[in-house]
Amino acid sequence: MFQAKLMQWLGFGHHIQNLRWFSVLLEGTPGPDFVPGVKARDETFAGVPVRVYEASGGEGGLKRGLLYFHGGGWALGSAKIGAYEKDCRILSKELNAVVVSVEYRLYPEVQFPVPYQDCFAAAKHFLSAEVLSRLSVDPERVAVSGDSAGGNLAAAVSQEISQDSSVKVKFRVQALIYPALQALDFNTPSYIQNSRGPVLPLSALAKFWMQYLGVDLSLLDQVLANHHSSQQQSLLTPELRARFDWTRLLSAKHRQNYKPVVADKGLDGILEKIPALLDVRAFPLLADAEVLSKCPKAYIMTCEFDVLRDDGLMYARRLEDAGVQVTSVHHEAGFHGCFSMAALFEVGKRAQKHYINWLLDNL
Residues involved in catalysis: 148, 306, 336
Contact 47, 33 (CB under 8 A): no
Contact 70, 147 (CB under 8 A): yes
Question: What string of DSSP letters covers 290-314?
Answer: HHHHTSPEEEEEEEEE-TTHHHHHH
Q: How far apart are CA 221 and CA 286, in angstroms?
A: 23
Q: How far apart are CA 218 and CA 223, in angstroms?
A: 10
C-beta neighbour count of 194 within 10 angstroms? 24
Contact 148, 212 (CB under 8 A): no
Q: Say which residues have a Cβ less than 8 Å from residue 222's Cβ, sequence separation at least 6.
A: 228, 267
- Tell me the backbone φ, ψ of residue 359, rounded to 5 degrees: -65, -35
Maximum Cα interatomic distance, the chain, rounded to a whole number of Å: 61
